[in-house]
A and B are shown apart, each in its own frame.
Chain A
Amino acid sequence: MSARYDAVVVGGGHNGLVAAATLARAGRRVCVLERADRLGGMAAGGAFPDGTPMPRIAHLLYNLSPAVLNELGFGAGGPVETRALPTVCLDPEGRHVVVRDGSPVLADGRPHPEAEAYRRLAARLVRFGGLLARLADAPPPQVSERLADLAGMRRLGPLAALGWDFRKLGRGDRREFLRIVLSNAHDVILDELSDGPLAGSLAADAVRGAWAGPRAPGTVFSLMYRLARGGGAALPLGGMDAVIAALADRARSLGAALRTGAEVTEVRVEGDRACGVRLADGEEIAAGAVLVATAPGAAMRLAGPAHYDIEAVRRLRNMRAKGTAAKLNLRLDGLPEVPGLGPELLGGRLLLAPSVEQVERAFDPVKYGRVSEAPVIEAVIPSLTDPQAAPHGGHVLSAIVQYVPHAPEGGWTGAARDRLRDVALAALETALPGLSARVTAAETLTPSDIEAATGAPGGHWHHGELSLDQLLTVRPVNGMARYRFGPAGHYLCGAGAHPGGDVMGAPGRNAARVALADATAGEAAA
C-alpha cells in the first residue's frame, strides 16, 4: 500500500491533466495515472522513424477553454505560443479559396463572389457558438424535481446566464438561433451559399470526427460548437506535445504527482464509495475521490457495473461512439510545387471538401462499413510555420481523413490499411499534385488504431457522438450528466462528459470543481 491521495485521476490526457491541476490548485493531494508511456492521450505526439516529431492524432487548437487558461494561470496567450492559420479550401479545379478572420478571398487574390454572404453566415455562427460556449464552463443545466428549492434553482443557473446573453442578441438573431440551432448544416449553409469548396469546407468543419453527414439534423450545433471560440485554428509551436507538456508542468508545479505506465484496472469501491484504485501490477492507491478521464463505458467498467442501476448500465452501453476519422501522417523530403498555392497558403489549414454534396457523399459508405473513396481531409504542414516541427529538414504533413469506419467489412488487415493510405494520398494528390513522390515515411492510424492507442471507444475523439441526443443534460447519458458517476466519490472528467471533446479542457475542469465542492461539503458535515 502506497501513499494516500485526496484524489486520483485516471488517464493523463489533457482533461485528466486539467482536472489534476484544478484539484492541486485547491490544495488537494492528487495523482494522475496514465496507462501509456507518455502523457497526452489524443494530444500525445509521436515520432517518425528518423526521429522527426509526429503530430500523432490531434494537430490544431481552436477550442481551449478560457476558464481553464485563466484558472491555471496561463493568461490569454494560452499554455504555448501559437500561430493562427488561414483556412485554405482546396478546389480540384484550382480555384482555391482562402479564409482569414472569417473573410474569404480567392487564392489568387481576387475577391470571392460570395464573400459577403459567407462573412454574414460565419459571423452569425460564431456569435451563436459564443452563446453556447456560455454553457461549457459549468455542469449542464438540469431541471430538478423540485424547482422551488434553492439547489434546484442553482442547477438552472447556466441556463439563466445563457438566457441573459440570448436577450442581448437582436430580435432577428434570436429567431434565427432558435430556428437553426437544431438544424442541419447542409440546409443552413446552402441557404446562403452556392455549393463549392467554401460551402464544403464549412460543412466539413460541422462533421469533423462525427458519424454524420451534413444533412443530419444536429450538425449546425456541432458547427457552432467548433466555432465557439471565434472559428480560428491555431498551430501550437512545438506541436500538441508542447501543450501537454505545459499542462503537465503546471499540474506538477501545483503539487500533483504524474505517473505514466500505470494502468488502472479497477476503481475500488467500499460502502458505495470510491476509495482508490488498483493497478495492473497489483499496487493499490487509496484516495478520497477518483476522477476518470476515460470514456464513460470504460469508467463504469472500472468501478464495476454492480455499482450502477440497470438503467444506467443500459444507457451507457447504448451510448453511440463510432469514430469515422483516421489519421495519415506523412514525412516529406520536400514540398511539391503547387500552382496557385505559395508556401504561405500551403502552411494554412488545408481543407479538401469540394462541396457540401460531396461531404455528404463521403459519409455514405461508412454507414455500411466501407472507406470513402473520395474522403474529406483536413491537412496541415506544421513544418512550414514551426521550425521545431521538422528539425532535421524536409517537411511533415498531418491529415485527418474522413470518413473511415471503425470496423470495416473484412476488418483492418494490412491491405485495408494500405488501401486507406492510398485513397487518402490520391485525394490529396488531386489538390497537391506531386505530393506522393515526396513521401519518405507514412503512418496510417485507423479509428481502430486510435481506440487501441487511447482507449476512446470506436476511436471517437469525443468519446461519444456529439449529437443532440447525447449533449448537455443527457451527456454522457440521461441521469449522469453532472460528472458524478455512480458510486459517491467517482467522477467522469473526460470528453464523454459535458460539454464534450476537442482539446478544450472544460470537462476536466468542471468535474474537478464538482469533486471539490463535494469534498468541501463532506468536510463541513464531518
Chain B
Amino acid sequence: MSEHGRYDAIVAGAGHNGLTAACYLQKAGLRTLVVEKNDWIGGAAVSRSLTPGWTYSNCSYVCSLLRREIVRDLDLPRFGLQVIPYEGGGSFTRDGRHFGYYADPAQLRRELRRHSPRDADAYQRYSRTILRQCRFIRPFLLRPAPDPLSARPRDLGELAFLLKRAHGLGSRELGETIRFWTASIGDFLDEHFESDLVKAHLAGSGIIGTGLGVYSPGTAYVLLHHYMGDVDGAIGAWGFARGGMGAISNALAAAFEEAGGTIRTGAGVEEILVDDGKVTGLALSDGAEFRAPIVASNMDVKRTILRHTPRAALPEDYLRAVERFKIRGSSAKLNIALDGMPEFPAAPPGASFLRGDLHCSESLRELERAYDDWKRGRWSDEPYFDMLIPSQIDPTMAPPGKHMMTVFIQYAPYELEAEGLRAAGNWTPERRQAMAETVLDKIEVACPDIRRRIHHMEIRSPKELEDEVGLTEGNIFQGELTFDQLLFNRPVPGYARYDTPVKGLYIVGSSAHPGGGVMAAPGANAAREILHRIGRAGNMPDLAA
C-alpha cells in the first residue's frame, strides 16, 4: 500500500533553495512537505563521509553568497551554522614563482609590488570598481527581477527601483557599470594589470561554473556573481561552513522541522500531477502520491518541465523556451582525503594564503586555451582549478593531523568527445581517472608530494554531478549566467516571477533569478511570490528592507 497525504505545499528537492522556500512557506502557515530523491538532503550543499574519518563538501565547497538577511531571519546559527572566513589565496607557476593574494591590505600591496609596482596601484582602482559594482547589485538579489515588458503595478515598482538606482549612479558611473556588465573578465583585467600571474589569479572567478572563456563578454559579471557575497558583512570575503557545506542544508532543514515541516527522503519526483491547468500534487518514484495546490520545484527548469511535467499541460512556446534554456556542464571535482598536509615548497614558510584558494594557472592565455579544449568536447589539457584545504581551519573535516582537499576543475564537458562522438556516456571510469591524473599532474606544480599524500580520492565528472545531485549536465548554476538568461529572462522570458504556465507550479532553484551559487535568494524570493499569490504576503518578513 503506497503512501498518500495532503499538504498545503510540496517542495520537490531538498537543496538549499528548496529548503529555504520550504522554511518560509511553513512559517507563513502552510503545511509543507519536502521530498528528496537521495537518502540525504542538501542537493549540492552537502557534507558526505565517503571514507571513514573524513568529511567532503563534495559539491559546493565554500560559502559567501548565502544572503545574510536569510541567515539572520531564519536564525541559522542557532541550528548549527557557523561560517569561518578564510584568508586570501595564491597561485603557483611551473618555474617556482608564486603570487600570494593576502587578505591584509598592506601585505597584499607589498606582494603586488613584488610582481609589478604598477599593478599595486592599479589594484586600488580595480577593487574600488568591484566593490562599487557589488554595492550596486546587492539590493537586487532579494527582489524579483524588474520586467520592462510588464505593466503590472508590482513589476512597474521593481522597474522604478532599478531606474532610480541606475539614475542615482550618475551618467559617468552608469557608463562604467554598463561597460562592466558587458565586458569580459580578460579585457577588464588587461585594462588594469600587466602581470600575467596576477591577472590569472584574479580571472578564475569570472569563469567558474560557466561555458564561457576569460575573453567571452559577460564574464566580468560572472566574477561579480562570485564576489557579491560576504562573510559577516565583509563584502567579497569567502568562508567555510564548519562541518562542510552540508551544515547550511542541515541548519535550514532543522529550522524547517522546528517550524513543523516534514522532510521525506529516498524517493524523487516521478511526475508532477496536473489537472485542468492546475498542479494537484506529486507522484514519487516509490509509488507514493502527495496532494497539494502548490508545488515548488527546486530542480532546474529543464528537469522540472521536460522530464516531470506532462507536456500536454504546457503551451508549445513555453516548452520551446525551456528546451533552448542553456545549461552547460563545464566543471568537475576532485575530493581528496590526505594523510598529511602537502608541502608547498614555493610558498614562504607558514604563508597564511595557503589556507585560502590555490591555483596553478599562469596567464589569461592559458585559461582561454582551457576553454578552447572544452569547446571541442575535451577536458582541459591545462585545467584551471580552485583548490582548498579547509581542514586547516575546520578540524572537523579530517582526523587529527590529516587533511581534506577540495579541487574544483574548469573545464570538463558533459558530453565528452571520444572516437569522434560526443556523449555523456563517454565518461567511463578510465577516462574519469585520466582527467584526474591530468589535474594531479598540474597540482604537482604547487605541491610535488600530492600523489603520495592521497588516502582516498573521489572524482566527479559533470555526469556524476548530474546523476547524483540531479543538476542537468552537472551545471552548478542550474543554467548559464549569460545576459539572455539573467534577470527578467531567467529562466523563461515572461515567467521570471518563479511561476510557470501551470497554476501552482513554481521554479524555486538556481534556474530562477538571481541565479546560482549557495545564495538561497531564489528560494526566498520564490516563497514571497507564492505567498503573495495566495494573499499571504504579510506572513513573510520583508528581507529586502
Contacts and interface: CB of A to CB of B under 8 A. Distances in A.
Interface residues of A, number: 38
Interface centre among B175, B190, B218 (most CB of A within 10 A): B175
Q: Is the interface of B mostly helix, strand, loop or mixed?
A: helix
B417 interface: no
Interface stretch (B278-286, B367-375, B498-506): B367-375
Interface string A168-186: 0001101110111011100
Nearest to A183: B484
A143 B166 contact: yes
A473 B376 CA distance: 36
Contact of B217 (A217, A360, A479): A217
Contacts of A174: 149
A320 B187 contact: yes
A474 to B, nearest CB: 5
Contacts of A191: 324
Contacts of B372: 364, 367
Contacts of B216: 215-217
Given A178-B493, A182-B484, A183-B484, A360 B218 contact: no
A478 B182 contact: no
Nearest to B369: A368
Interface in A30-56: none
Contact of A182 (B365, B375, B376, B483): B483
A364 B212 CA distance: 13
Nearest to A473: B175
B216 to A, nearest CB: 5
Given A145-B171, A469-B217, A179 B484 contact: yes
Contacts of A318: 190-191
B411 to A, nearest CB: 13
A372 interface: no
Nearest to B148: A178
A172 B171 CA distance: 32
A216 B217 contact: yes
B183 A469 contact: yes
B171 A142 contact: yes
Interface string B156-187: 00000000001100111011101100110001
A144 interface: yes
Interface string A345-371: 000000000000000110010011000
B428 to A, nearest CB: 25
Interface in A148-178: 171-172, 174-176, 178
A360 B375 contact: yes
A499 B326 CA distance: 31
B175 A179 contact: no
B170 A145 contact: yes
Contact of B493 (A179, A212, A361): A179
Nearest to B218: A217
A482 B166 CA distance: 20
A318 to B, nearest CB: 4
Given A145-B171, A179-B493, A467 B488 contact: no
Question: Which of A182, A191, A469: most chain B Cβ within 10 A?
Answer: A469
A468 interface: yes
B489 A143 contact: no
Contacts of B482: 183-184, 217
A218 interface: yes
A147 interface: yes
B317 interface: yes
B395 interface: no
A195 interface: no
* Interface range, B side: 35 or more
B408 interface: no
Contacts of B187: 320, 469
A283 B365 CA distance: 47
Interface in B18-67: none
A249 interface: no
Interface in A183-212: 183-184, 187, 191, 212
A144 B174 CA distance: 10
Nearest to B323: A191
A147 B484 contact: no
B301 to A, nearest CB: 14
Contacts of A172: 317
A478 B179 contact: yes
A4 to B, nearest CB: 35
A467 B217 contact: yes
A468 B182 CA distance: 6
A150 B326 CA distance: 44
A147 B483 CA distance: 27
A218 B219 CA distance: 12
B182 A147 contact: no
Interface string A210-241: 00100111100000000000000000000000
Contacts of A473: 174-175, 178
A515 B187 CA distance: 33
Contacts of A178: 148-149, 488-489, 493
B167 A147 contact: yes
A408 to B, nearest CB: 15
B494 interface: yes
Contacts of B190: 318
B215 interface: yes
Max chain A Cβ within 10 angstroms of own Cβ: one of B182, B183, B324: B182
Contact of B167 (A143, A468, A474, A478): A143
B375 to A, nearest CB: 7
B191 A217 contact: no
Nearest to B186: A367
Nearest to A147: B167
B57 to A, nearest CB: 31
A474 B175 CA distance: 6
What are the 10 A-B residue pairs with the smallest beta carbon separation, nearest first? A478-B175, A182-B483, A468-B182, A183-B484, A469-B182, A175-B493, A469-B183, A318-B191, A217-B218, A469-B179
Given A360-B375, A474-B179, 17 more contacts: A142-B171, A143-B167, A144-B171, A171-B149, A175-B493, A182-B218, A184-B482, A217-B483, A217-B484, A218-B218, A318-B191, A320-B187, A364-B375, A468-B182, A469-B179, A478-B175, A479-B175
